[in-house]
């Protein structure tokens, strides 16, 4: 699968409270959550995000709360992929479980700039910055996680295997 979009760039330690502030957690409706996604650090995100766009961030993306509402809000916003140097572990798990593609790639996280057009090939983990012309290779998923993704998420994987 290949997706292409414009980059929203963020720094290290983007926490789940800014991805979706807790004051909106009295709802679990994906559309409502998406309408407040990132608003505490980027007021323009919900106004300008388009289907297929990509988030690029630094270390420890998604740190803090275990709220699955965070990857749900990002996915529902239309974001096709999050690229970061590293992810907080619960966010990492949640993203795999709900089918939000995430890629770890330090070089890409550092060099890709806000507004760049980027293409991501999930089968090979290849990230192409069309604006700068540079190509990056993300860490591949371990086989077990690849199985989870191929099964279409945790529920179908467990149904098949347990």
Interface contacts to other proteins, rule CB under 8 A: 13, 15, 17-18, 21-23, 25-28, 40-41, 59-60, 63-69, 71-72, 86, 88-90, 93-94, 97-98, 142, 144, 153-156, 158-159, 162
Separation of alpha carbons 158 and 138, rounded Å: 27
What whole-number distance in Å separates Cα of residue 149 and Cα of residue 145? 6
- The minimum distance between CB 47 and other proteins, in angstroms, equals 17
Q: Which of 97/126 has CB closer to other proteins?
A: 97
For other proteins, the closer CB: 10 or 129:
10
Task: List CB contacts of 48: < 8 A, sequence separation 6 or more.
Answer: none
The nearest distance, CB 27 to other proteins, in angstroms, is 6
Q: Minimum Å distance from CB 105 to other proteins? A: 16
Neighbours of 84 (CB within 10 A): 26
Q: Which is nearer to other proteins, 2 or 25 (CB)?
A: 25
Identity of the residue, 39 or 121, whose beta carbon is nearer to other proteins in the bound complex? 39
The separation between CA 23 and the C-alpha centre of its own chain, rounded to angstroms, equals: 22
Helices (H) and strands (E) in the chain — how many of each?
A: 8, 7
């Amino acid at each position: 699968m290949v997706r292409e979009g414009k980059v929203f760039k963020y720094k290290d330690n983007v926490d789940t409270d800014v991805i979706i502030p807790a004051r909106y957690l009295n709802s679990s409706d994906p559309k409502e959550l998406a309408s407040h996604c990132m608003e505490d650090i980027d007021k323009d995100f919900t106004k300008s995000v388009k289907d297929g766009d990509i988030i690029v961030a630094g270390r420890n993306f998604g740190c803090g709360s275990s709220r699955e509402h965070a990857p749900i809000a990002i996915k529902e916003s239309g974001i096709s992929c999050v690229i970061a140097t590293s992810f907080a572990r619960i966010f990492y798990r949640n993203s795999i479980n709900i089918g939000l593609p995430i890629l770890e790639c330090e070089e890409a996280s550092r060099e890709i700039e806000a507004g760049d057009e980027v293409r991501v090939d999930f089968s090979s983990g290849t990230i192409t910055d069309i604006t700068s012309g540079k190509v990056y290779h993300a860490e591949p998923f371990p086989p077990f996680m690849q199985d989870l993704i191929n099964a279409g998420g945790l529920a179908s994987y467990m149904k098949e295997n347990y």
